Structure 1
Amino acid sequence: MTDSQRVKAAGAKRRRLMSAAARVVHQQGAERTTIADIARAADVPVGNVYYYFKTKDELVAAALAEHARQLEVVTGELDRLPYPKERLKGLVQGWIDQRDLAARYGCPTGTLAAELDKRAEGGLDVEAGRVIRLLLDWVERQFREMGVPDPDGQALTLVGAYQGMSLLANALRDPQIMTREGTRLISWLDSL
């Protein structure tokens, strides 16, 4: 194996670990997740994990980075749509499409932010807030492009509605909450 192939393989393994960390932490929470859980989900020997991430907190930070990356992919795809209202409606439709996942585990970033905020140390709660801020900023840009008054307030309303419907769908284990509330959000967007 050449040096270039080794670097590529190491990068692929690191990405697998980050993706697995995001998935497992979402499903189990940061406190209940072990490094071994993430290694198993990534199909990487536990000992190899420490080459990439020295602590569980580094893996949680990697999960947050993966959430940010996934958000950038989603918003990048939505940015291809010609009109900001269509982009926002596409975002909400994506939330509706993830209703079963939300009903089972809640919002990946929102539930993690709430869990991390209860810790006394670490600063990962600030990092979770940064990921949520990425979403708020993107939504605000759409409202600003639409020319609606108070685009930052509208962004808070939309993202807050998503967090609320995710929390309720999860707490009540009812994916239809996501469908009903998402449909309401789409109607609200259409009225703007």
Structure 2
Amino acid sequence: MTDSVNRRTAASQKRRRLTAAAARVLHEQGVERTTLADIAREADVPVGNVYYYFKTKDELVRAALSEHSAHLDELTAALEQLPDPLDRLKALVEAWVGRRDTAARRGCPTGTLAVELDKRADGDLDAEAGAVIRRLLDWAAGQFRELGLPDPDGLALTLVAGYQGMSLLANALRDPDVMTREGGRLLSWLDSLRGA
């Protein structure tokens, strides 16, 4: 390999580490409390290097949103391997419940970021966070549509609202069992739709 290829590879890996670190730190600390130095430390990158890849904190927030979107794509791609759309939806709920400890400590990564960004007076990052949630809604609606159920968009909204609600309450109460209990209710609700 040439030196220029090695440098490009190293730069790509550094940017990737910064993006992943931004997603983690912003979820843990929130946008306002997070500094570029926090993200650099988490990524094990000198703070001066951060500015080479991201000129502003907003650019890092965009990168974190991109990371959340990529995680959603990975999850839904894995769920698509299941042959039955109802099983896909139930596996989604089980994945949410599987992250109950994280939800109890910090809430939903994308949902909490969307709420925090909405409170800012400037920019359009809140809409970008909403777009990630919209992707989840669209995917879930597609599953309900494939099941042939009426009002698939409304059912998707009910499902995602249930997740956001249980995530918020688990966080507010610092109680991961909220996720377990409410996840069980969502699973029962999904099972009831099969006969609808």
Q: Distance in 2 between matches of 1:79 and 1:49?
A: 36
Residue identity opposite 1:52 in structure 2: Y
| Partner-residue secondary structure (3-state), 2:51 | helix
- Could you tell me which residue of structure 1 aligns to residue 30 of structure 2? 29
Distance (whole Å) between structure 2 residues aligned to residue 91 and residue 11 of structure 1: 31
TM-score (normalised: structure 2): 0.97
Displacement over 3 Å in runs of 4+: none
**2:153 matches 1:152:** yes
> What letter is aligned with 2:190?
L
CA distance in 2 between partners of 1:30 and 1:62 (Å): 13
Partner of 1:12: 13
Give the aligned residue type for 2:159. Answer: L
Corresponding residue for residue 107 of structure 1: 108
Instruction: Could you tell me which runs of 5 or more consecutive residues in structure 2 were left unpaired when the two chains were aligned.
Output: none
Work out the CA distance in 2 between the residues paired with 1:97 and 1:155.
20
Question: Equivalences for 1:75-86 in 2 at 5 Å?
Answer: 75-86=76-87
Residue type of the alignment partner of 2:117 = L
What is the percent sequence identity of the aligned residues? Answer: 70
Matches within 5 A, 1:118-137: 118-137=119-138
TM-score (norm 1): 0.98
1:164 pairs with 2:165: yes
RMSD of aligned alpha carbons: 0.7
Q: For residues 177 and 21 of structure 1, what CA distance do their matches in structure 2 show? A: 27
Matched residue type, 2:168: L
Q: Which residue of 2 aligns with 1:45?
A: 46
Deviation of the 1:63 alpha carbon: 0.6
Q: Structure 1 stretches of 5 or more lacking a match?
A: none
Q: Please give the alpha-carbon distance, in whole angstroms, between the structure 2 residues aligned to 1:124 and 1:147.
A: 35
Q: Tell me, what secondary structure is at the counterpart of 1:49?
A: helix
SS in 2 for 1:94: helix
Separation in 2 of the partners of 1:25 and 1:120?
18
What are the superposed Cα offsets for residues 73-105 of structure 1, whole Å, 9 maximum, x if unpaired? 011111111110011001000000000000000
Q: Distance in 2 between matches of 1:4 and 1:184?
A: 52
State the partner residue of 1:91.
92
In 1: Cα distance, 2:126 partner to 2:27 partner? 15
Aligned residues: 192
Measure how far apart 1:40 and its partner are: 0.4
**Which stretch shows the higher mean deviation, 4-13 or 61-70?**
4-13
| CA offset digits 1:43-73 (Å, max 9, x no partner) | 1100001110000111011111100011000
Aligned counterparts of 1:163 and 1:39: Cα–Cα separation in 2: 30
Matched residue type, 1:164: G
CA distance in 2: counterparts of 1:86 and 1:9, whole angstroms: 40
C-alpha distance in structure 2 between counterparts of 1:105 and 1:33, whole Å: 14
- Distance, in Å, in 1 between the alignment partners of 2:16 and 2:141 is 30
